[in-house]
């Protein structure tokens, strides 16, 4: 065992703190470093793997979108490059490197955006937010959607590349990636949102 990999966020506040704490405890106990992986990158990797398993053309561009609650979503854009040495082999769809094109951000569903040079037929939208905010996405967003979650298997597939890239850090640096500081809405804020939604309908 060389390192402990964990999803650092963005995501649920309690979940991120739990992941960091468990990773730290295991790493301290085993005298190992940790590998923090962005949650949205794990979503993109899970979508790529699921797509590859269907035998369809490999996904190389993923707009990862996760429900952030409070009427917002976390979003980031990634591009996958298969290893050139195995480009002609069946295994090439499972080997390669990811590059972050758009850093994790927080948006309302209506204000969601993606890289300007990405054509609608050149990427997929992956995550768990699409059905949650149905009818609220930008009209211009017509790319295919795929349900995907940041699984442990996705983290394990990403870990070797993170290790090779020198991204391992000491356990005490296993810190969560927060995109916003606010954990929840007040009762008044929730009531105002419900009233606004009722008016909009």
Length of the chain: 201
pLDDT at residue 75 above 50?
A: yes
Q: Which tens digit of pLDDT belongs to each residue from 104-158?
A: 999 999 999 999 999 888 899 999 999 999 999 999 999 999 999 999 999 999 9
Q: What is the mean pLDDT of residues 84-103?
A: 66
Give helix 152-164 / helix 39-53 axis angle, nearest 10°.
110
3-state secondary structure 117-129: CCCHHHCEEEECC
Q: What is the Cα–Cα distance from 66 to 146, expressed in whole angstroms?
A: 12
Q: Which tens digit of pLDDT belongs to each residue from 146-184?
A: 999 999 999 999 999 999 999 999 999 888 888 765 555
């Amino acid at each position: 065992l060389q390192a402990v990999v964990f999803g650092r966020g963005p995501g649920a506040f309690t979940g991120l703190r739990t992941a960091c704490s468990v990773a730290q405890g295991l790493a301290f106990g085993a005298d190992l470093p940790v590998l923090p992986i962005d949650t949205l990158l794990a979503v993109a990797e899970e979508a790529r793997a699921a797509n590859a398993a269907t035998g369809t053309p490999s996904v190389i561009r993923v707009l990862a979108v996760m429900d952030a609650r409070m009427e917002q979503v976390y979003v980031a854009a990634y591009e996958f490059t298969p290893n050139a040495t195995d480009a002609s082999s069946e295994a090439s769809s499972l080997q390669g490197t990811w590059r972050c094109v758009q850093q994790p951000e927080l948006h309302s569903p209506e204000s969601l955006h993606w890289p300007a040079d990405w054509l609608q037929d050149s990427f997929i939208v992956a995550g768990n937010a699409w059905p949650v905010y149905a009818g609220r996405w930008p009209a211009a967003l017509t790319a295919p959607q795929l349900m995907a979650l940041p699984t442990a298997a996705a983290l394990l597939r990403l870990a070797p590349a993170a290790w090779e890239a020198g991204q391992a850090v000491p356990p005490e640096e296993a810190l969560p990636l927060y995109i916003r500081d606010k954990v929840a809405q007040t009762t008044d804020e929730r009531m105002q949102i419900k009233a606004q939604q009722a008016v909009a309908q």
